Structure 1
């Protein structure tokens, strides 16, 4: 039977990381797939739970979590509504959280457990940096990954950001204006070397599958090409006609994974089995 168990950990700045583990209780010692969500995303967005069940049914323990500063509160798990926490996020805080989850996995399942990481969009950028620096990761999979963190804002916004201490990004779905404090920019500039995704990509020495739709308006296909060029040992798969989320949406009411996302899951399963 496919089961989902919840967990919580202390994340960056003492904020809570809420996560869940989906697995088939007939197979207790299965390898792990750890999923890292993107900017304005969260663990229960769209078809993420269906994807978790797919991997659990195919012999994996699927772990996903909300980054501590994702802005998703425990009271409202299906939306970004804690805008003060969201505004205070930084990339270093997110890397702290990922490390905390990897520590939790190691403590729960032992050092020998196989850990494979999937990162989507900004989560893909974080996954690349983590995989370049953490020997606990066996295989890396990125979906629609960014190739630079500063692609999340416009260069011309930076002067205003430094003056006013805040800029706003629009939530495409709710049209809400979401604040980002200048500590995000400061963190990016102060830790430029650590947070350089392309430089980290060059250092990846584990199997790496890069998945990218060719109809992605959020992260254009050339980002995937840049990542693949930075690491000739990686494998790039183009998903024809796929957008940034491979046909998923929030909320996602259907009982089955969207066809293009299902294709992605199949490609990942093949890659994990190689």
Structure 2
């Protein structure tokens, strides 16, 4: 039977990381697949729980979590509503959280457990940096990954951002204006070397599968090509006709995975089994 258990940890600035582990109780000692969500994303977005069940049914312990500054609160787990916390997020805080979850996995399952990592969009950028620096990760998979963290805002916004202390991004679904504090920009500038995704991509020396749709308006296909060019040992798979979320949406009311996302999961499963 497929079971999902929740866990919580202390994340960046003492904010809570809420996560869940989906597994088949018939196979207790299975390898781990850790998923990192993207910007404005969260662990229960769209079809993420169906993806978790797919991998659990195919022999993996699937772990996903909300980054501590995702803006998703415990009392409203299906949306970004804590805009104050969302605004105060930085990439360094997210990397702190990813490390905290890896530490938790190591404590809970032991050093010998195989840990593989999937990152989507901005989470893909985090996963690349983590995989370049952390020996605990065996295989890396990125879905629609960004190739630079500053692609999330426009260069011409930066001067105004520094003078007012805030910019706003629109939640495409709710049309809500979501604030981002200038600390995000300051953190990126201060840690430019550490947070350089392309530099990290060159240093990834584990098997790496790059998945990208060719109909992605959020992160154009060229980003995937740039990442693949930075690391000749990586493998790039183009998903024809796929958008940024491979046909998923939020809320996702269907019982089965969107066809393109199912295709992605199949490709990942093959890659993990090699």
TM-score, normalised relative to structure 1: 1.00
Unaligned runs of 5+ in 1: none
- State the secondary structure of the residue aligned to 1:251: coil
| Structure 2 residue aligned with 1:186 | 186
Partner Cα separation in structure 2 for residue 176 and residue 112 of structure 1: 45
Structure 1 moving runs of 4+ over 2 Å = none
Separation in structure 2 between the aligned mates of residue 122 and residue 172 of structure 1, nearest angstrom: 16
In structure 2, distance between residues paired with 1:128 and 1:252: 28
Q: CA separation in 2, counterparts of 1:163 and 1:17? A: 32
1:75 counterpart SS class: coil
Residue by residue over 1:253-273, the C-alpha shift from the partner in whole angstroms, topping out at 9 and shown as x without a partner, is 000000000000000000000
Alignment of 1:151-166 (within 5 A): 151-166=151-166
2:48 — aligned with what? Answer: 48
Match of 1:205 in 2: 205
Deviations 1:97-153 (A, max 9, x none): 000000000000000100000000000000000000000000000000000000000
Alignment correspondent of 2:29: 29
Separation in 2, partners of 1:37, 1:145: 11
1:73-222 equivalences under 5 Å are: 73-222=73-222
In the alignment, is residue 271 of structure 1 matched against residue 265 of structure 2? no
Distance, in Å, in 2 between the alignment partners of 1:197 and 1:173 is 28
Aligned length: 274
The runs of 5 or more residues in structure 2 that have no matched partner are none
- TM-score (ref. length: structure 2): 1.00
Distance 1:59 1:178 in 2: 38
SS in 1 for 2:33: strand
Considering only aligned residues, what root-mean-square deviation do their CA atoms show, in Å?
Answer: 0.2
